């Protein structure tokens, strides 16, 4: 549980930024508060972004843009999102806890936190995705995920190139709503592939070797074996590293096969 001394609704991004900079160790940007509730933080100023119009999903200038306050449930129900990338964004979050939870948890809180287990991050990484930060500007998601968390910044939105690529998502969970034991997303655009593997249990990363296998026509099984061999798989209470490695081979193969079939159908 957390405690909050003062709860603030900034009227502009500049005001939100200024409030955060006053004491970024003790002040906090609020997403849906689902994760914050699990901690024991004493928040001096809780900065609620809900008056800043960041709950919008827009298709603009060739990009699908997801504001930081967009909820996970919106990814499952918004027609702009479900109609693109074979609906993998909505599908990737559909096993997270339950609908009421997904009506609260946000894109901003999920991406900014860089959770290793994040289904959404894994799916976004297989697309052409950038994040837009108040201070850090716009940078590719892969670069953002590889950098340490800057607690003095605010994630404003996620931008995905609306390039019509096909995609597929697969995860394995010990029970339906558990955290993923392993997650995989694959996409293909004009013969160029991206293969993302998350919940290793470390953060999602791309497997370049798996992508190369698919680009050179070696097929889904070879891509699965390549992702299993290239990436590092660790152990935690959900699974051992060896098991995750075996899962990676299977899930990458399945996702690549599905993506290929979608690509062939057009």
Ligand X SMILES: Cc1cc2nc3c(=O)[nH]c(=O)nc-3n(C[C@H](O)[C@H](O)[C@H](O)COP(=O)(O)OP(=O)(O)OC[C@H]3O[C@@H](n4cnc5c(N)ncnc54)[C@H](O)[C@@H]3O)c2cc1C
Q: Does 158 bind ligand X (CB under 6 A)?
A: no
Paired strand residues for 132: 138, 157
Nearer to ligand X, 155 or 260 (CB): 155
Query: Cβ closer to ligand X: 101 or 243?
Result: 101
Return d(Cα 251, Cα 197) in angstroms, integer.
Answer: 9
Query: Please, what is the angle between helix 208-215 and helix 220-230, to 10°?
Result: 160
- Indicate whether 154 belongs to the interface with ligand X (CB under 6 A): yes
CB count within 10 Å of CB 170 equals 23
- Please identify which residue in 8, 57, 59, 97 interacts with ligand X, judged by CB under 6 A: 97
Q: Does 105 bind ligand X (CB under 6 A)?
A: yes
- Of 52, 66, 120, 225, the one binding ligand X (CB under 6 A) is 120
- Does position 185 bind ligand X by CB under 6 A? no
Among the listed residues 122, 70, 120, the one whose alpha carbon sits nearest the alpha carbon of residue 94:
120
Span near ligand X by CB under 6 A; candidates 9-17, 113-121, 237-245, 255-263:
113-121
Minimum distance of ligand X from residue 112's CB (angstroms): 4
What is the distance between the alpha carbons of residues 216 and 234, in angstroms, rounded to a whole number?
Answer: 29
Q: What is the layout of strands, in order, in the sheet containing 137-140? A: 57-60, 63-67, 155-161, 129-133, 137-140
- Residues numbered 9 to 68 that lie near ligand X (CB under 6 A) are 28-36, 38, 68
Q: Is residue 108 close enough to count as binding ligand X by CB under 6 A? A: yes
Please give the structure tokens belonging to residue 133.
């930060």
- State which residue, 118 or 196, has the beta carbon closest to ligand X: 118
Which residues does 138 contact at the CB level (< 8 Å), separation at least 6?
130, 131, 132, 159
> Which CB, 76 or 263, lies closer to ligand X?
76
Which span (11-19, 103-111, 160-168, 249-257) binds ligand X, by CB under 6 A? Answer: 103-111
Task: Kindly tell me which residue out of 74, 78, 118, 181 binds ligand X, with binding defined by CB under 6 A.
Answer: 118
For residue 217, the tally of other CB atoms under 10 A from its CB is: 8
| 227 contributes a contact to ligand X by CB under 6 A | no
Is-contact 199 243, C-beta < 8 A?
no
Q: Report the interface residues with ligand X, using CB under 6 A.
A: 28-36, 38, 68, 96-97, 105-106, 108-110, 112-113, 117-120, 154-155, 179-180
């Amino acid at each position: 549980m957390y405690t909050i001394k003062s709860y603030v609704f900034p009227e502009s991004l500049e005001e939100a930024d200024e409030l955060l900079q006053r004491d970024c160790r003790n002040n906090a940007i609020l997403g849906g508060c689902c994760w914050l509730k699990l901690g024991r933080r004493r928040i001096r100023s809780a900065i609620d972004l809900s008056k800043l119009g960041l709950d919008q999903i827009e298709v603009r200038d060739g990009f699908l843009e997801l504001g930081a306050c967009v909820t996970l449930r919106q990814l499952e129900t918004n027609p702009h999102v479900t109609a693109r990338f074979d609906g993998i964004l909505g599908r990737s979050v559909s096993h997270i806890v339950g609908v009421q939870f997904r009506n609260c948890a946000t894109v901003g809180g999920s991406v900014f936190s860089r959770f290793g287990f994040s289904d959404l991050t894994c799916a976004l990484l297989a697309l052409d995705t950038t994040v837009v930060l108040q201070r850090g500007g716009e940078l590719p998601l892969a670069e953002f995920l590889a950098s340490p968390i800057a607690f003095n910044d605010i994630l404003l939105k996620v931008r995905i190139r609306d390039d019509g690529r096909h995609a597929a998502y697969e995860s394995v969970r010990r029970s339906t709503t558990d955290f993923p034991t392993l997650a995989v997303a694959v996409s293909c655009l004009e013969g160029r592939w991206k293969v993302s593997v998350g919940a290793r249990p470390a953060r999602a990363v791309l497997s370049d070797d798996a992508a190369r296998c698919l680009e050179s026509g070696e097929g889904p099984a070879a891509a699965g074996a390549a992702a299993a061999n290239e990436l590092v798989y660790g152990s935690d209470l959900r699974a051992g590293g060896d098991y995750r490695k075996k899962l990676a081979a299977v899930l990458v193969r399945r996702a690549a096969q599905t993506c290929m079939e979608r690509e062939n159908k057009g």
